[in-house]
């Protein structure tokens, strides 16, 4: 059994009409049919099998029983069934909306984002849809226009007619206008952020929810210059390839196709009637029918007259990003997938006594070797992110100064781009570690995260709205160099009284040596304090108070959801965190009457920098 005829789930959204029932024979117990989900494994609306031994089962149940081989080799890169196919009858205007990309949706919605395409099956004489902005708008103007109900003034209204195709990439603001009938092929997602809805109310009599904050975070506010050229296909992207089949029943009344082991085929009949056959199977079709042909089905034949869309998944590995964490002694290289998981990684000695060119060349060669060993082609990589210690100009891709690396004005992005022909982004290593924790570690449920790394020095990263905050200049944040004691201990930066001069591991070791005359590790110092050594207890208490002062200052300024402690000293766990929480509770402005952040230890360890660097892409 290789041809499955499918019955859709139906949706009765308030803007829908009756054409799908009257003209396409869709059966539903609802008065309005806005959408029919023709090819779907989504739990919000599965499609059902109406022929053969699996009749009555959902498409997902069939796949679960038969195994994922029925989807084809090209679908191995997807965690879930990759696409969702719909018919849409817009009797009235749909809401103005936007869909997030995979990264944002997986983090915030626990499902994929949505890139989609529309094929206009029919449209009224004055029909149009909204597709992006007329001009670039700022985030502030976008938010203001939503609030003031003037958003439509800056949206691009596109007249449409039968046969038009639009490709809507994630992040594109859009809406289907009234009096339009559409076939939609999209990523398998049901995530939509509504920003304007004409003041309509739902079935409960209340205005439908808007999702303004999320929309502000994901919308591309730059006009779409031109449509996506997918020739010779109707549409083609990492998630689906769509081709058009047209048989006029006279000159062209028969077509043979082939479904290889690479991908299943979805055939959506837009118009006409006839038969579809594969081997000994032969089924009739009419307009509106939807068929699924399992991967490896072989030759199939369509006879009669029809317009149809045939959707397959082309060969393309899951998007892979390269994350590189450059350190003064060791550099870590990782391959990261869309789920923020490390696929593979390796380390190399950095040796800062070598020239920057030599280090960069070895890093690039190591990356190429890692890709080769993993069987990943370069064109399957969507970019490389690099974290490097020091002052970094992210916009120009230049390391302005790195004391650890002895680098000055090194064009890192440009130089590594000679070996890796993909987009390259760079940032400070502490910022990357913070971004990694926010993307996949202890802060993955938060948008606003501050991280302090307590090691030889004190590094810090600020993540606001899911992005690295670095201000308008270069260099990013230097949390370790806020002054907490006027004219205090000398700091490595040349000033006195910095947080780093009191709460780095080096500072803790220094204070213990002053008091006891011997070198001790931070672990030994904390252990001695817990064991009753009063001198060490006083040292640890003062250390925690100084760290608490720094955290209080940070919280009063940024009001994050979470403060993370990383670096070697974070291994002290609750011995460190418990007292810090009390200091923050007691000393933060507003105290417990405000929203105090959680204070936790970082979770990713040495992997944070690689994952964070990859997340720059």
All residues at 6 or more sequence positions from 469 whose CB lies less than 8 Å from its CB, including other chains: 462, 463, 477
* DSSP letter, residue 108: H
Which runs of consecutive H residues, i.e. helices, occur in 517-588?
A: 522-530, 534-558, 574-587
Dist CA 157 CA 485 (whole Å): 59
Rounded to 10 degrees, the C-alpha dihedral 565/569/571/577 comes to -50
C-beta neighbour count of 5 within 10 angstroms: 18
Q: Is 342 exposed, middle or buried (0-12, 13-18, 19+ CB in 10 A)?
A: middle
CA distance 231 to 408: 46
d(CA 57, CA 48): 6
Is 557 in contact with 522 (CB distance < 8 Å)?
A: no
Catalytic (active site) residue 194: yes
Active-site option among 194, 425, 546, 581: 194
410, β-bridge pairs: 399
What's the CA gap between 484 and 456, in Å, rounded? Answer: 18
Q: Give CA–CA dist 414/399, Å, rounded.
A: 11
309 contacts 235 by C-beta, under 8 angstroms: no
The string of DSSP letters for 39-81 reads E---TTS--EE-SGGGTTSBHHHHHHHH-GGGG-GGGTT-SS-
Query: How far is residue 304's CA from residue 249's CA, in Å, rounded to a whole number?
Result: 5
The radius of gyration of the chain from alpha carbons, rounded to an integer in Å, stands at 29
Catalytic residues: 194
């Amino acid at each position: 059994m290789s041809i499955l005829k499918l019955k859709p789930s139906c949706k009765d959204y308030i803007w829908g009409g009756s054409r799908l029932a009257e003209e396409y024979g869709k059966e539903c117990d609802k008065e309005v049919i806005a959408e029919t989900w023709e090819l779907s494994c989504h739990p919000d609306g599965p499609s059902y099998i109406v022929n053969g031994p699996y009749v009555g089962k959902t498409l997902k149940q069939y796949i679960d029983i038969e195994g994922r081989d029925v989807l084809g080799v090209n679908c191995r890169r997807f965690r879930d069934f990759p696409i969702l196919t719909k018919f849409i009858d817009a009797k009235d205007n749909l809401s103005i909306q936007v869909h997030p990309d995979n990264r944002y949706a997986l983090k915030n919605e626990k499902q994929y984002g949505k890139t989609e395409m529309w094929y206009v099956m029919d449209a009224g004489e004055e029909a149009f849809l909204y597709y992006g902005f007329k001009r670039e708008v700022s985030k502030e103007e976008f938010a203001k226009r939503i609030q003031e109900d003037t958003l439509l003034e800056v949206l691009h209204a596109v007249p449409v007619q039968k046969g038009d195709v639009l490709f809507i990439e994630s992040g594109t603001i859009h809406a289907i206008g009234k009096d339009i009938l559409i076939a939609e092929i999209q990523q398998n997602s049901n995530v939509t952020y509504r920003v304007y809805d004409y003041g309509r109310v739902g079935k409960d009599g209340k205005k439908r929810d808007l999702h303004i904050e999320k929309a502000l975070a994901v919308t591309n506010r730059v006009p779409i210059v031109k449509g996506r050229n997918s020739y010779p296909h109707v549409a083609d992207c990492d998630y689906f390839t769509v081709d058009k089949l047209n048989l006029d029943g006279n000159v062209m009344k028969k077509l043979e196709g082939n479904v290889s082991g690479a991908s299943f085929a979805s055939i959506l009949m837009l118009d006409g009637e006839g038969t579809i056959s594969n081997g000994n199977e032969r089924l009739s079709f009419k307009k509106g029918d939807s068929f699924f042909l399992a991967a490896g089905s072989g030759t199939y034949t369509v006879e009669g007259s029809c317009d149809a869309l045939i959707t397959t998944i082309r060969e393309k590995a899951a998007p892979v990003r390269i994350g590189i964490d450059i350190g003064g002694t060791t550099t870590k290289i990782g391959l990261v997938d869309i789920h923020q998981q490390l696929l593979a990684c390796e380390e190399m000695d950095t040796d800062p006594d070598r020239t920057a060119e030599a280090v960069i060349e070895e890093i690039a060669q190591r990356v190429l070797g890692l890709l080769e060993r993993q069987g990943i082609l370069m064109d399957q990589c969507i970019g490389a992110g690099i974290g490097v210690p020091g002052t970094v100009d992210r916009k120009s891709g230049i390391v302005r100064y790195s004391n650890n690396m002895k680098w000055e004005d090194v064009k890192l992005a440009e130089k590594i781009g000679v070996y890796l022909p993909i987009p390259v982004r760079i940032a400070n290593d502490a910022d990357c570690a913070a971004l990694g924790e926010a993307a996949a570690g202890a802060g993955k449920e938060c948008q606003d995260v501050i991280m302090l790394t307590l090691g030889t020095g004190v590094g810090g990263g600020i993540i606001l709205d899911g992005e690295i905050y670095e201000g308008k200049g270069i260099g990013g944040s230097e949390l370790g160099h806020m002054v907490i004691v006027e004219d205090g201990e000398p700091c490595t930066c040349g000033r006195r009284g910095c947080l780093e001069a009191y709460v780095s591991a080096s500072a803790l070791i220094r204070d213990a040596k002053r008091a006891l005359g011997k070198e001790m590790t931070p672990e030994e110092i904390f252990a001695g304090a817990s064991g009753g050594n009063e001198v060490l207890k006083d040292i640890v208490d003062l250390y925690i108070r100084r760290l608490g002062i720094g955290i209080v200052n940070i919280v009063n300024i940024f009001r994050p959801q979470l403060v993370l402690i990383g670096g070697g000293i974070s291994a002290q766990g609750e011995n460190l965190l418990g007292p810090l929480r009390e200091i923050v509770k007691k000393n933060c402005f507003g105290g417990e009457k405000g929203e105090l952040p959680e204070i936790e230890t970082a979770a990713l360890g040495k992997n944070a920098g690689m994952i964070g660097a990859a997340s720059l892409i």
